[in-house]
C-alpha cells in the first residue's frame, strides 16, 4: 500500500486494465509514415516539424508537452543551443 501511495504522490499513474504496447493496434498509415520519417536526416525532420507546429496550435502544444516531458529529470540547466538552420 505504501508503494502505491508513494507512486501516486510522484504522479505515477497506472490502470489495472492497461494494454501492453505490443497489443495496441497501430494505424498502417502511421507505420508507413514513421518508416519514411526514419529516412529523413534528424535536422530536416525537426525543421519540418517546427514549420508545421508554427501553423498548428494543437501540434505546437503536443510538441511543447513532449519537450517538457523529455526535459524532466535534468539538472535544471538550460539545454544547449541548437543550430536550427539546414
User: In 10 A of CB 30, how many CB atoms?
Assistant: 9
Classify 7 as helix, strand or coil: helix
| Structure-model confidence comparison of residues 83 and 51, the more confident one | 51
* Gap between the Cα atoms of 40 and 61, Å rounded: 23
Look at the pTM and tell me if it is higher than 0.75: no
Q: Read out DSSP for 36-68?
A: HHTTS-HHHHHHHHHHHHHH-HHHHHHHHHHHH
DSSP state of 19: P
What confidence tens digit (pLDDT) does each residue in 12-63 have? 666 666 666 666 788 899 889 999 999 999 999 999 999 999 999 999 999 9
Q: What is the pLDDT of residue 56?
A: 95
Amino acid at each position: 500500500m505504501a508503494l502505491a501511495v508513494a507512486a501516486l504522490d510522484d504522479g505515477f499513474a497506472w490502470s489495472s486494465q492497461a494494454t501492453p504496447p505490443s497489443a495496441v493496434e497501430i494505424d498502417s498509415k502511421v507505420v508507413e509514415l514513421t518508416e519514411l520519417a526514419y529516412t529523413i536526416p534528424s535536422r530536416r525532420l525537426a525543421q519540418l516539424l517546427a514549420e508545421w507546429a508554427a501553423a498548428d496550435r494543437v501540434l505546437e502544444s503536443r510538441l511543447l508537452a513532449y519537450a517538457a516531458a523529455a526535459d524532466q529529470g535534468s539538472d535544471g540547466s538550460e539545454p544547449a543551443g541548437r543550430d536550427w538552420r539546414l
